[in-house]
Amino acid sequence: MPSQRDRLRVGAAVVGVVALLAVVGRITGPRAPAPQPAPATATMAALPQRADLPERWVTERLEVGHGGGPLVFGAGSLWVGAWPDREVVRIDPRSNRVTGRFPAGGLDPAGLAVDATTVWVVHRDTDEVVRVDPGNGRVVARIRLDPLPFEFAPGDRRFLPSLVAVGAGAGWVASARGAVARIDAASNRVVAVIRLARQAPAGIAVAGRIVWVAEGGHGVARIDAATNRLLGTIRLDVHADRVATDGGAIWVGGRSTDPSSESAGAVARIDAATGGVREIVPSGLPTGLAAGVGAVWITERDDAAGGALECIAPEVSPSGMTGLPALGELAVGGGAIWAADRLGSSVYRLEPDRFPCSATSVLTGPAVTP
């Protein structure tokens, strides 16, 4: 596994809030780390509880209702799970307007995914998946999740869905009890249930014919979509709390478990075709993670009241901005980065033009067609 690379941050004051554009240099291979220059001197004022984002980076601040996440970009729009309001909110990236507020189809929505024709929402209270028409918000299918093929506790086989992803001709629904159900997108029927080695999966993504499931401190599990079989687990020096993919790479973020690392968090890059771990990059503790084309974006905790945003890409020095409000869930697409306010009800549109790795990283491929 490649060695971790040291980070350098160079700060500059920005009107309205302290925002730093950090260019981070990291060294791989057996060479010793380059000397670290002294940081630029800057007056660091205490961040207010609800600071505004710097105007040079943000172009829109949209109110979406209670709860700013999860965020998913698909079918040409940004989709926000406003779960306390039991709504799915649609944002048009061209006009930067909220163009729809649809009922989530139940009382206890959880995971959110989008394909070319529908929005998928899982509901824990009813053990079902609801598919919603993205144009009018009409529920087009309700899919009941059968009891688990094993007992979680004596007499208890409830599925309790928590996450959903789409790809390889199906919807993939993770249970907090350690299983993944495959739903055929054409028939809306559960055709397989795969038992995981661990409970409480933290994230799920699909790349090609492989389903990737983040399993916290146990690594990332892989499911072969061709056979519906568990392929095993990739262990990492990262607590696998979040997973995302651009199709070619799998990005896994979370707390660093490397005892030699001084960073709170880390992001691992895995080759989607081979399952080989290409690198593990030190970072702050991720509060959001989203993959674009050839890069990943993460939000981080900066201090008790603020946050940071960082872009990581192969062969490019990672760059970031600190001194931001507390940001949480992320999505990329439509030429922008979308970040939810972790402490409020806003979604920000951020322009990445000054990030070295941003040339294509805010683009997305065609919408997933199950």
Which pLDDT value is given to residue 4?
Answer: 36
The arithmetic mean of pLDDT across residues 300-316, rounded, is 80
Look at 367 and 322; give whichever has higher pLDDT: 322
| Count of other CB atoms within 10 angstroms of residue 111 | 24
Which pLDDT band, with edges at 50, 70 and 90, does 317 fall under?
A: confident
Cα 55 to Cα 16, 52, 64, 252, 348: the distances in Å are 8, 8, 20, 30, 11
Which pLDDT band, with edges at 50, 70 and 90, does 57 fall under?
A: low
The arithmetic mean of pLDDT across residues 86-102, rounded, is 94
Look at 40 and 362; give whichever has higher pLDDT: 362
Please state the pTM of the whole predicted model: 0.82
Which pLDDT value is given to residue 301?
Answer: 80
Say whether pLDDT at 49 is over 50: no
Q: What is the pLDDT of residues 119-175, one digit of tens each?
A: 999 999 999 999 999 999 999 999 999 999 999 999 999 999 999 999 999 999 999
Which pLDDT value is given to residue 145?
Answer: 97
Domain spanning 66-297, CATH architecture: 7 Propeller (2.130)
Rounded Cα distance, 51 and 327, in Å: 11
Is residue 257 packed enough to be buried (19+ CB in 10 Å), middle (13-18) or exposed (0-12)? middle
Q: Give Cβ neighbours of residue 115 (< 8 Å, ≥ 6 apart).
A: 74, 75, 166, 171, 185, 367, 368, 369, 370
Is residue 125 packed enough to be buried (19+ CB in 10 Å), middle (13-18) or exposed (0-12)? exposed
Q: What tokens were used for 25?
A: 């240099």
State yes or no: cis peptide before 314, omega within 30 of 0.
no
Say whether pLDDT at 27 is over 70: no
The arithmetic mean of pLDDT across residues 341-356, rounded, is 79
Which pLDDT band, with edges at 50, 70 and 90, does 361 fall under?
A: low
Say whether pLDDT at 71 is over 50: yes
| Count of other CB atoms within 10 angstroms of residue 239 | 22
Which pLDDT value is given to residue 323?
Answer: 74
